[in-house]
Amino acid sequence: LPATYKDIKRLTGLSLSTISKYFNGGNVRPQTMEAIEAAAQKLDFRINDFARGLKSGRSMSVGVLIPELNSSFHTTIMRQVGQFLRQRGYSCLVCECNADKSIEREALSFLVDKMVDGIITIPLDSSGSHLELARARNVPVVLVDRKTTAFETDAVLIDNFSAGKMAAEFFIERGHSRAAIISGPSGIYTMSERSRGFAWAFKERCSGADVKTLEVDFSIEGGYQAAKELLINGSDITCVFCPNYEITLGAVTAMNELKVRYPQDISLIGFDNMELSKVLNPSLTIVEQPMQEIAKLAAQLLIDRLEKKDDSDVKTITLPAKITMGKSVAVL
Amino acid sequence: LPATYKDIKRLTGLSLSTISKYFNGGNVRPQTMEAIEAAAQKLDFRINDFARGLKSGRSMSVGVLIPELNSSFHTTIMRQVGQFLRQRGYSCLVCECNADKSIEREALSFLVDKMVDGIITIPLDSSGSHLELARARNVPVVLVDRKTTAFETDAVLIDNFSAGKMAAEFFIERGHSRAAIISGPSGIYTMSERSRGFAWAFKERCSGADVKTLEVDFSIEGGYQAAKELLINGSDITCVFCPNYEITLGAVTAMNELKVRYPQDISLIGFDNMELSKVLNPSLTIVEQPMQEIAKLAAQLLIDRLEKKDDSDVKTITLPAKITMGKSVAVL
DNA sequence: CTGTTAGCGCTTTCAT
DNA sequence: ATGAAAGCGCTAACAG
């Protein structure tokens, strides 16, 4: 049975309040501290987080809620956020909602029940209505990657429009004018922005351009099917942009299967995940997000809110993406 | 301010114990239930997990402690375990220890402090001495993937020796006799077993065989360096076995860089991760673990312990691996 | 089936 | 700097 303050009291003769004060960083005199330390050591004392939380109303934990833990981007964000938060004394409760809105709602309610002090989330439901519950409970929320339309709160994003534009310009500069983008669901903020940027650049910077937009499920399978369709019937397309990691994976798989080679037969730009880019041969040209920075900023922003170091208005931090050159785009 | 039993009492006139009973699945009469439900609804009542945990001594949460969240295998296990546990009403606290033993020890102590009811872990410290703390606190532990030498508890593993043997036999059957294995640290149980199985099969089933064993760091970089070294100086090797996912990734990257092609120049068998196998061209022959089953069995075992449905002696469940054929092994 | 009662281990005024 | 006392929200006998 775990030791409690009472046991320490028994060994030291001190009162509960003095002991509590010590464990909360208050001033006690050296000999008191030594006595408590010795007793705690001897008893293998560890503070009871439930009792503390019950009394103080804070859990020193934050909830991380993301769509899918098998998405490389989401997992990376989650890890970095967790690492940073832990350094600052907070623990993380991680939930994934399997890309299902009703699970997302449940998960949020679960986190609130667990008394998390704050929430960092990549929202699935783009309205963000599920987040109202957090607000009702006074739990601050920081959005990552996507903004919500009906719920205003702090957010850390990349400039997705520019990311799409970048990919388009990379193609245009190398002589391409007939392009396709295999986009995820247009209801997803990042996807529609990247598509918009891609199409805009071709329209604006390349006369006589033709951009096909395929909209698929947000998965490897989706990318795979769309690429197959495109390669079989896509006739005169010379280049394809895959604006997320899973779609990229699916598209490459389809090309392998159909023995279509890049960059010879068709040019390709992928998204995220440097490692994939390098194991592939030829290597892939990709648009990359500064994941570590995104995570760090989100965590910092949340902590600042929790600790009242920042009580400014809702703020959105926008970071740039960058393009990393591989060998998957032909010069026409 | 969140509502409590007191508020429900005020609205319904019922006693706290009746209300508590209802929320814990006890029998109350229909009209009582309706009254409580209505009040709870109206008040937006949610039970306070801290108070409940403090009183009951159970948190309905389990700790998951793994070496690295950027390892595809570890992440997959963690997800599956989490999913299964959540279905059963438990939540998960996930910690990674960045492959550092002292962090692992801290993380364990952190989980115990958070009052997890049980722990599922892929142990890094192969002695398992850090797990003593859990035992001292009466927190059951289930090991996944690796066994500990100095701490006996339930475990779910694959037959790693056979996995290595399988890879070797696949090579042998296709006429290979000069092989290499790029193994992870021999202190890691899985790695030494897979190596042992690999070497054993060549020795036993292939006269005049020659097996080089390289031991590297447990990382993409490790696999990359070793493969490079092997390809530059390895002279007469005709095939390589990479007994984990990260090493496989590194090895393929090295081959791309040196323009060494498989299966023409050298044959290759990788480990884990079907997806990688398919995006690569040619596709990879890999040894696969039944991850979903591993996770499910581990979670089930822990729950059975927690709920006293199983009070048998410590048990170890061993599952078979299987080989999935790709196009990365040449027939000599 | 329902109510009364006594804490769980900690924090936090308020005194001293 | 330390102590006494009250109570956070819930559970679990026990009695009715």
One-character DSSP codes across B69-129:
TTSHHHHHHHHHHHHHHHHTT-EEEEEE-TT-HHHHHHHHHHHHHTT-SEEEE--SSTT-G
Provide the token pair at A202. Answer: 């071709």
Contact A110 B91 (CB under 8 A): yes
Q: In this predicted structure, what is the pLDDT of residue B73?
A: 87
Return the nearest residue to C11, CA–C1': A55
Contact A278 B253 (CB under 8 A): yes
Q: In this predicted structure, what is the pLDDT of residue B55?
A: 92
* Mutant choice from A279, A283, A327 vs B, greatest count of B C-beta within 10 A: A279
Q: Give the pLDDT band of residue A80 (cuts 50, 70, 90).
A: very high
Torsion of CA A299, A300, A305, A309, to 10 degrees: 160
Report whether B321 contacts B158 (CB < 8 A): yes
Give the closest-approach CA distance of A93 to chain B in angstroms: 6
Cβ neighbours around B213 below 10 Å, total: 15
Contact A91 B112 (CB under 8 A): no
Question: Which nucleotides in chain C lie closer than 7 A to a protein CB?
Answer: 1-14
Q: Is A240 helix (H, G, I), strand (E, B) or coil?
A: strand
Most confidently predicted of A261-265, A279-283, A305-309, B85-89? A261-265
Report whether B248 contacts B284 (CB < 8 A): yes
Give the type of residue at A275: E
| CA separation for the pair A236, A210 (Å, rounded) | 10
Give the type of residue at A120: I
Q: In this predicted structure, what is the pLDDT of residue B324?
A: 95
Helix (H) or strand (E) holding A156: strand A154-158
CA B176 to chain CA centroid, nearest Å: 32
Q: In this predicted structure, what is the pLDDT of residue B89?
A: 85
Q: For residue A98, which residues of chain B lie inside 8 Å, CB to CB? A: 83
Query: Which among A102, A98, A96, A101 has a CA at the least distance from the CA of A63?
Result: A96
- A with B: how many residue pairs have Cβ under 8 Å apart? 98
Query: Which among B183, B196, B284 has a CA at the least distance from the CA of B230?
Result: B183
Q: Gap from B22 CA to C2 C1', in Å? A: 11
| CA separation for the pair A321, B105 (Å, rounded) | 38
Query: Which among B191, B184, B183, B246 has a CA at the least distance from the CA of B212?
Result: B183
In this structure, is the CB of residue B258 within 7 Å of any atom belonging to strand D? no
Q: Give the pLDDT band of residue A113 (cuts 50, 70, 90).
A: confident
Provide the token pair at A137. Answer: 């409970």
Return the nearest residue to C7, CA–C1': B55
Determine contact: B138 vs chain A, CB below 8 A.
no
Task: Using the Cα atoms of residue A279, residue A282, residue A286 and residue A288 in order, give the sign of their dihedral.
Answer: positive
Task: Convert the pLDDT of each residue in A165-199 to its tens digit.
Answer: 999 999 999 999 999 999 999 888 899 999 999 99
Query: Which among B224, B281, B219 has a CA at the least distance from the CA of B244?
Result: B219
What global pTM score does this model have?
0.86
Provide the token pair at A85. Answer: 């938060």
Determine contact: B199 vs chain A, CB below 8 A.
no
B 21-80: CB within 7 Å of strand D: 23-24, 47-48, 51-52, 54-56
What are φ and ψ of residue A96, in 5° steps?
-115, 155
Q: Are strands B141-144 and B178-183 parallel, antiparallel or unpaired?
A: unpaired
Please name the nucleotide lying closest to B56, CA to C1'. Answer: D11
In this structure, is the CB of residue A8 within 7 Å of any atom belonging to strand D? no
Phi-psi region at A185: left, alpha or beta (left = phi > 0; alpha = psi -120 to 50): beta
Please name the nucleotide lying closest to A54, CA to C1'. Answer: D8
CA A23 to chain CA centroid, nearest Å: 35
Q: Gap from A18 CA to C16 C1', in Å? A: 14
- Tell me: pLDDT of A234 over 80: no
In chain B (332 residues long), the average pLDDT of successive 10-residue segments reads: 90 91 88 92 92 90 89 87 90 86 91 92 93 92 94 96 97 96 91 96 94 90 92 88 93 90 95 84 94 96 89 93 96 94
Please list, in sequence order, all residues whose beta carbon lies within 8 angstroms of the beta carbon of residue B50, skipping any fewer than 6 positions away.
A50, A51, A53, A54, A59, A115
Q: Gap from B21 CA to D14 C1', in Å? A: 15
Determine contact: B16 vs chain A, CB below 8 A.
no
| CA separation for the pair B197, A155 (Å, rounded) | 51
Contact A50 B46 (CB under 8 A): no
Contact B256 A280 (CB under 8 A): yes
Task: Convert the pLDDT of each residue in A153-162 to its tens digit.
Answer: 999 999 999 9
What are φ and ψ of residue A20, in 5° steps?
-60, -45
Provide the token pair at B5. Answer: 């039993």
Cβ neighbours around B126 below 10 Å, total: 18
Helix axes B30-43, B5-12, angle to 10 degrees: 120
Q: In this predicted structure, what is the pLDDT of residue B64?
A: 94
Most confidently predicted of A66-75, A177-186, A275-284? A177-186
Query: Which among A57, A50, A14 has a CA at the least distance from the CA of A32?
Result: A14
DSSP tag of B280: S
Mean pLDDT to the nearest integer, A254-271? 93
Please list, in sequence order, all residues whose beta carbon lies within 8 angstroms of the beta carbon of residue A129, skipping any fewer than 6 positions away.
A150, A151
Q: For residue B119, list its beta bridge partners.
A: B63, B141
Please name the nucleotide lying closest to B8, CA to C1'. Answer: D9
Determine contact: A1 vs chain B, CB below 8 A.
no
Q: For residue B63, list its beta bridge partners.
A: B93, B119
Provide the token pair at B200. Answer: 């054993």
Determine contact: B166 vs chain A, CB below 8 A.
no
Interface of B with A in 69-88 (CB under 8 A): 69-70, 75-76, 78-79, 82-83
| CA separation for the pair B31, B21 (Å, rounded) | 14
| CA separation for the pair A133, B2 (Å, rounded) | 12
| CA separation for the pair B30, B130 (Å, rounded) | 50
Q: In this predicted structure, what is the pLDDT of residue B256?
A: 87
Report whether B202 contacts B174 (CB < 8 A): no
Q: For residue B80, which residues of chain A lie inside 8 Å, CB to CB? A: none
DSSP tag of A209: -
Report whether B267 contacts B240 (CB < 8 A): yes
Determine contact: B63 vs chain A, CB below 8 A.
no
Tell me whether the omega of the peptide bond preceding residue A282 falls within 30 degrees of 0, making it cis.
Answer: yes
Give the type of residue at B262: Y
E strand intervals along chain B: 61-66, 91-96, 118-121, 141-144, 154-158, 178-183, 210-215, 239-241, 267-271, 285-288, 316-319, 322-324
